[in-house]
Structure 1
Amino acid sequence: MKNVYKRPESPTHSLNKHSDSNLPLKVDSSNIMAAVHASWIKLDQRGEGQGARSSHAIAVVAQKVYAFGGEFVPRVPVDNNLHVFDLETLTWSVADASGDIPPPRVGVTMAAVGETIYVFGGRDGEHKELNELYSFDTRANKWALISRGDIGPPNRSYHSMTADDRHVYVFGGCGVHGRLNDLWAFDAVEGKWVEFPSPGESCKGRGGPGLAVAQGKIWVVYGFSGEEMDDVHCFNLAHKTWTQVETSGLKPTARSVFCTLGNGKHIIVYGGEIDPSDQGHLGAGQFSGELYALDTDTLAWKRLEDKANSDNHPGPRGWCAFAGARCGGRQGLLVYGGNSPSNDRLDDIFFLALSQERVN
């Protein structure tokens, strides 16, 4: 791929051209809605897995989960192996990878476009923020360094990453000089980075936000900006404009480092830190185990019934690795590991099976 840094070409992308772009958006919620149903399943694990950790990342290609990075001891990267979990056999293995293998890191993100996985940023063992973009070809089991330095987003960790069928999107995180609120896209076909317009001061720089693609928009949900946040913003990919939206319904309490999934017109939110530790990253704050869905048509939140007291429920946690997956013929959210309220790193895997039903 050719390393190209590309900014938006047209000055009409400026938010100043849209006087209402930063005003809260309200939508009538009286229309027919799709009710989301959810159920957790705890997956067995065979073979030698990645082990307990947090601040790691996963991406799913076909029926295989690829896991990379993370910590067992706070701020100390564990390894740089690419661990593979087969969703059909429930067996772990380690990829026999070649090429430009990324060094160990924490606070890293991963996303898949087709059969290629992309890994961006993170923090190394010296607590240095990173900005390399790596790709991993799951067919050839080969790593490649795509961009670094002045090409692409500045250095960061604990940012968020998501993807559609062509692009990888990166938002926010902890930068060298503070928390960030910038949005970037990497075009996997053309091999180009694009920096989108800034959301402005209405969307504070933040770490650990939710990021999802839904209905032609990139959604930024909550995050940590010196305190836990409970605001929602969206970026219209067609018009290149930001909007701060006003949500309704039973909205989640402010939180960060939670699991997020775009599922049709819904954004699924699970867990996260709702009260930070007074020891910072060295301690465990207060975590949530609740599950919510945001309808991006009506902008109404709903808390989902997910049998919170059952043995199959993952319980309160944050700093997890998560990704959309298909398991047992159902689409849903895969959650792996994370940090617990007792500050213990976890090594379990849960699958949230999702379904929708039209209701009046």
Structure 2
Amino acid sequence: YQPVKRYGHSTVKVGDYLYMWGGDGYGVGYDVMEVYHLPSGAWDQKPTTGTPPPGIWAYSSIAIGKDIYYFGGSDGRGYQNSLHCFNVDSFKWRELTPSNSDHGPMKKGYCGIISVHFDIEDYLVIIGGHTSSSTPKQPDAQYSASGR
């Protein structure tokens, strides 16, 4: 098995495996995760359950333990601001909802994401990115002329 040719995806390492999802290209299935086993050099394609993120390229991703988090990205019609979690043991997707819906993250892609740990809690920090001109701007943020 060889992985599907694509661009705009990301690959995240958890343990001895690389997990590759999404991207843009012909024949990409968005209900499967392509997995590379580092010690053996073998690729595999595994089906997933649950609802994957709508942003299939230009999203941000990061692993914390056995979970991979995916934020934002584009579905070809516009940027997204959803946050999804993929568990590498169950191969199941779940969408996470913000605890404060008054001030959720703006819709964007091509942003950075890092995890930080404070006082026994893990946090995801979303940095920068690109948005469309129709996306409402957030208060107290600075933007370049191109919306970045």
TM normalised by structure 1 equals 0.34
Q: Structure 2 counterpart of 1:134, which letter?
A: H
Choose which of 113, 132, 141 in structure 1 pairs with 2:82: 132
Q: Residues 180 and 107 from structure 1, CA distance in 2 versus in 1: closer, same or farther, beyond 3 angstroms? A: farther
Structure 2 CA distance for aligned equivalents of residues 180 and 78 of structure 1: 31
Larger Rg: 1
C-alpha distance after superposition, 1:332-356 (max 9, x if no partner): xxxxxxxxxxxxxxxxxxxxxxxxx
Partner of 2:25: 72
Choose which of 139, 159, 167 in structure 1 pairs with 2:123: 167
- The equivalences for 1:172-187 within 5 A come to 172-177=128-133
Is the CA contact 2:11–2:21 (under 8 Å) kept in the aligned structure 1?
yes
Structure 2 CA distance for aligned equivalents of residues 65 and 174 of structure 1: 26
Structure 2 CA distance for aligned equivalents of residues 180 and 65 of structure 1: 36
Structure 2 CA distance for aligned equivalents of residues 158 and 105 of structure 1: 12
Q: Secondary structure at the match of 1:129?
A: coil
Offset at residue 96 of structure 1 (A): 2.7
Partner of 1:63: 16
Offset at residue 175 of structure 1 (A): 1.7
Q: Residues 56 and 106 from structure 1, CA distance in 2 versus in 1: closer, same or farther, beyond 3 angstroms? A: same
Structure 2 CA distance for aligned equivalents of residues 133 and 158 of structure 1: 14
Identity of aligned residues (%): 24
Choose which of 105, 110, 128 in structure 2 pairs with 1:158: 110
Offset at residue 180 of structure 1 (A): 10
Q: Whose RCO is larger (CA < 8 A, sep 6+)?
A: 1
Over aligned residue pairs, what C-alpha RMSD do you find?
A: 3.0
Offset at residue 103 of structure 1 (A): 3.8
Structure 2 CA distance for aligned equivalents of residues 162 and 82 of structure 1: 22
Unaligned runs of 5+ in 2: none
Q: Secondary structure at the match of 2:81?
A: strand
Within the alignment, does 1:114 sit opposite 2:68 as a pair? no
Q: Structure 2 counterpart of 1:117, which letter?
A: I
Is the CA contact 1:173–1:179 (under 8 Å) kept in the aligned structure 2?
no
Structure 2 CA distance for aligned equivalents of residues 64 and 181 of structure 1: 38
Q: Residues 91 and 181 from structure 1, CA distance in 2 versus in 1: closer, same or farther, beyond 3 angstroms? A: farther
Offset at residue 169 of structure 1 (A): 1.8
Unaligned runs of 5+ in 1: 1-46, 183-196, 206-224, 227-360
Structure 1 CA distance for aligned equivalents of residues 11 and 40 of structure 2: 18
